[in-house]
């Protein structure tokens, strides 16, 4: 399957460019999701210090999977007054 894809992208340069842009934007989206997870983790007042450290390690060791696990496992809303 991949050899067919590579042959197609080499035959048609625009497909190679589109494929490159899709991969690039995927990595950019993953990068920003990981950064957002770090920011959200350290701003949450309902996490203790050890919980923040644990989530930070999970996100650092497994960036994509750790971010997805964090998004699924975290509480939806924290009731905090914004000052």
Tens of pLDDT, residue by residue over 34-79, are 999 999 989 888 888 898 999 999 999 999 999 999 989 887 765 5
Residue 6, classed as helix, strand or coil, is helix
The answer to whether 54 touches 66, Cβ cutoff 8 Å, is no
Residue 12, classed as helix, strand or coil, is coil
Please tell me the distance from the alpha carbon of residue 59 to that of residue 37, in angstroms, as a whole number: 8
Alpha-carbon torsion (43, 45, 47, 48), positive or negative: positive
pLDDT in tens, 8-31: 556 677 888 888 999 999 999 999
């Amino acid at each position: 399957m991949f050899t067919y894809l590579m042959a197609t992208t080499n035959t048609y340069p625009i497909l190679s460019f589109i494929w490159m842009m899709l991969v690039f934007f995927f990595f950019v989206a993953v990068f920003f999701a990981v950064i957002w997870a770090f920011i959200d983790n350290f701003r949450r007042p309902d996490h203790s210090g050890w919980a923040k450290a644990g989530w930070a390690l999970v996100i650092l060791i497994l960036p994509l999977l750790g971010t997805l696990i964090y998004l699924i496992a975290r509480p939806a809303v924290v009731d905090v007054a914004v000052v």
